[in-house]
Amino acid sequence: MPPLDIPTYSLVTLGGVVVGLSLFLWDASRWWADHPKKRFSFKALRKIAPKLACVAYGALLILSAGGLIGAAADWSLWGTNTVGEVVLVYGVGGTSPNVTRASQLGLTAGGHAVVILATVVFVAITSRRGIRWDFARQTLAGISLGLAKSVAGAIGFVVAPVVSVGGDWLMGLL
């Protein structure tokens, strides 16, 4: 059966990065304020770790080759780009240039398998007690930041090779 030919939107603008960083900073600043004295204790780090995992998961989603999950991530990236452009242009009178990484990262077959497994875990965790909006925000932040060429896009640059090699090893493709 041939793969679905779903067009991808693999372009991130400064507006998309601003939205992604804003979503990340929302939860990070609340975490920071909730742990004024022992920010780096095991208990405090345990509260921020799932949110960081959601950012990494979002970056993996936007690095997916396509399909239904990749199309949903592309649609989300288009939305964050649009919202960010409106905020930058009409909110502060700025511009929103393209800030997409010049060399695209790709996931291997094992990396794509890990994305499917991570999606199953994500759905299982978020559907247990209703929608976890903090997880949804951080996943959207990862989608917005995964293709950026600046320090904001480092999450995609770090996570993609690790997941691809780990997925290939797990699936026995190495």
Q: Give the tens place of pLDDT for each residue, 72-128.
A: 999 999 999 999 999 999 999 988 888 887 776 778 888 899 999 999 998 888 887
pLDDT tens digits for range 107-122: 888 889 999 999 999 8
Residue with tokens 């759905």: 123
Dihedral over Cα of 66, 68, 74, 78: its sign: positive
pLDDT surpasses 70 at 2 = no
Dihedral over Cα of 34, 35, 36, 39: its sign: negative
What mean pLDDT do residues 61-68 have?
A: 83
pTM of the model: 0.86
